[in-house]
Structure 1
Amino acid sequence: MRFHDTDVRQQAVVRLRAGAKNADVARALGVPLGTISYWRHMDRAKRGECPGRHDPQCPRCDGCELDEAAYSYLLALYLGDGHVIQYSGHRVPSLMITCDDNWPGLMDDCETAMQTVFPDNSVCRARKKGCHNVKVYSKHLWCMFPQHGPGKKHERPITLEEWQQGIVGAHPWEFIRGLVHSDGCRITNWTTRTVGGERKRYEYPRYFFTNKSADIRRLYSETLDRVGVEWKTTRRGSETYNISVAKRASVALMDQHIGPKY
């Protein structure tokens, strides 16, 4: 087939050596991602880099440095739109964060945070209909995300360990930002009032966070309390899944640190 020709392989190797990601090269050249990964592996082996022998270290197991701000943001994304899974036949588990294609900036931030937290591991994007899964493979995911477990998050307890609480306490806005980016939004509400006999329309911004897990909503609201943001619970039908921030001063504070998705 054309995309297995020597010329195409050489183009791929040149791009990979220049720092391009496997997924980007695969899309640009129309080559299967697995083939690109194999070409990278063979090229590195040929040059004596011995891929596969390097064992990335873990902040929890080995005490290596952790970018806590990036972790606080990534932890929140995981609680909202992520999961850790180990597929049959795979040696290590993967962390997968699902990002809507409508928010490319959010996807970039997710990938940056993931690469910052796992600097020795490769991060990739897997295209799905209307979204991308941002992924990283690491045998230390169980250490870094102890909230993993069978079933859906809202059907099991979600609590932070003491070391995670310390990180979120030190970087609360990154945690709030990650939760808003995953399960929240900034919208413009409107209402009407009669002033001087005339009906007038008023618009005002508002933040919403929606999650079925009472524990995750508690983590969000407690962190809002820590940074001085006023909030209230609102209903969606008979369920109180929504947390709203509508007070002007609190919205201004959220705008300063969070802002709309992009």
Structure 2
Amino acid sequence: MYDVSSRKRALTLVAQGRSLNSVSRETGMSRAAIRSWQTRLEPLPRMYTPLPDPPSDRVAYSYLLGLYLGDGCISPHPRGVGHYLRIACADAWPGLIDACEAAVRAISPAHTAYRVQAVGYVSVVGYYAHWPHLFPQHGPGKKHERLITLEPWQQTIVREHPWEFIRGLIHSDGCRITNWTEKIIGGVHKRYEYPRYFFSNLSGDIIRLFTDALDRVGVEWRMANPRNVSIAKRAAVALMDTHVGPKH
């Protein structure tokens, strides 16, 4: 009923993250027909889809890379026609959820994203055939159990936009807290408060990516323990407040 070129066009739209309903409305083809082309045992000859170039929105990508390394994962579509990028964001930080969704939309060729509510957190989800090529750190198992390095093109983006990368990592696995202490001065108890940032991750590779970026922008840091980076010096905290700030 439909020629090969029409089928290819419909499947290309679906691969870009479009829903079956929207593709059906645009092409005039039935949802059942489109679904059958996705699932048939002898599919149409596989279409060549060129691998993506590095993202044009390098600011959004640097931020999204930080979020992905902290709280992101990539999983294949059950029918093998693409991949899902999922970033877990705590319900306590609605501004972070909005920023994450904006970044996913900016990087996705279809400029789409949606939210899936779970207990205590929201997964921001984007569908795209080539997420593993944009995030080559994807692989089997947990991130801290495998080598995590950046490709040369990713290193270039992070060098150009280190603060966005730092902000993504802090928004995923970091925090800004207020510590306090009490001292007796002249017989009077005085309470002193001071802010600091922490970043925690099980992966030594991801910690090194974070501290390398801090070194690049001149933020002093120290290892509180093998899994936690502390930023407590007044000037360093001031820099972080200017470019990152607390979650919201």
**Common fold: TM-score over 0.5:** yes
Contact 2:231 / 2:237 at 8 angstroms: preserved in 1? yes
1:198 maps onto 2:188 in alignment: yes
Give the match for residue 225 of structure 1: 215
1:44 corresponds to which residue? Answer: 26
Alignment coverage as a number of residue pairs = 217
Distance in 2, matches of 1:63 and 1:241, equals: 34
Q: Is residue 161 of structure 2 the alignment partner of residue 171 of structure 1?
A: yes
Aligned to 2:208, what secondary structure does the other structure show? Answer: helix
Provide the residue aligned with 2:235 in structure 1. 249
Q: Cα offset for 1:87?
A: 4.2
CA root-mean-square deviation: 2.4
The Cα offsets for residues 80-116 of structure 1, whole Å up to 9 and x where unpaired, read as 0001111432411111101111111101111111111
| Equivalent residue, structure 1, for 2:141 | 151
SS in 2 for 1:226: helix
Q: Any conservation in 2 of the 1:188–1:206 contact (CA below 8 Å)?
A: yes
Relative distance call for 1:64 and 1:80 in structure 2 (3 A) is: closer
| Bigger relative contact order (CA 8 A; separation at least 6) | 2
TM-score by length of 1: 0.77
2:202 counterpart of 1:212: yes
The verdict on how the C-alpha distance between 1:39 and 1:120 changes in structure 2, with shifts beyond 3 A counting, is: closer
CA distance in 2, matches of 1:220, 1:254: 13
In structure 2, the residue matched to 1:26 is none
CA distance in 2, matches of 1:64, 1:107: 24
What are structure 1's unaligned runs of at least 5 residues?
Answer: 1-35
- Name 1:124's counterpart in structure 2: 114
Q: TM-score, normalised by structure 2?
A: 0.81
For 1:109, give the aligned amino acid.
Answer: A
Q: After TM superposition, which residue ranges in structure 1, 4 or more long, deviate above 4 angstroms?
A: none
SS across alignment from 1:194: strand
Cα distance change of structure 1 residues 189 and 215 upon mapping to structure 2, 3 Å threshold: same
Stretches of structure 2 that go unaligned for 5 or more consecutive residues are 1-17, 36-46
Counterpart residue number, 1:114: 104
Pairing 1:188–2:170 present: no
- Alpha carbons 1:121, 1:137 under 8 Å: kept: no
Verify the 8 A CA contact 1:93 1:141 in the aligned structure 2: yes
1:96 equivalenced with 2:86 (yes/no): yes
Distance 2:63 2:55 in 1: 17
Q: Deviations over 1:138-178 (max 9, x none)?
A: 11112101101111001111011111111000000000000
Q: CA deviation at 1:65?
A: 5.7
Change (3 A) 1:98 1:42: same
Q: Are 1:67 and 2:61 counterparts?
A: no
Report if the CA contact (8 A) 2:52-2:133 is conserved: no
* Pairing of 1:4-15 with structure 2 (within 5 A): none
Assess, with a 3 A threshold, how the Cα gap between structure 1 residues 63 and 88 changes in structure 2: closer, same or farther. closer
**Aligned: 1:78 with 2:68:** yes
Inter-partner Cα distance in structure 2 for 1:250 and 1:179: 16
Counterpart Cα distance in 1 of 2:180 and 2:80: 51
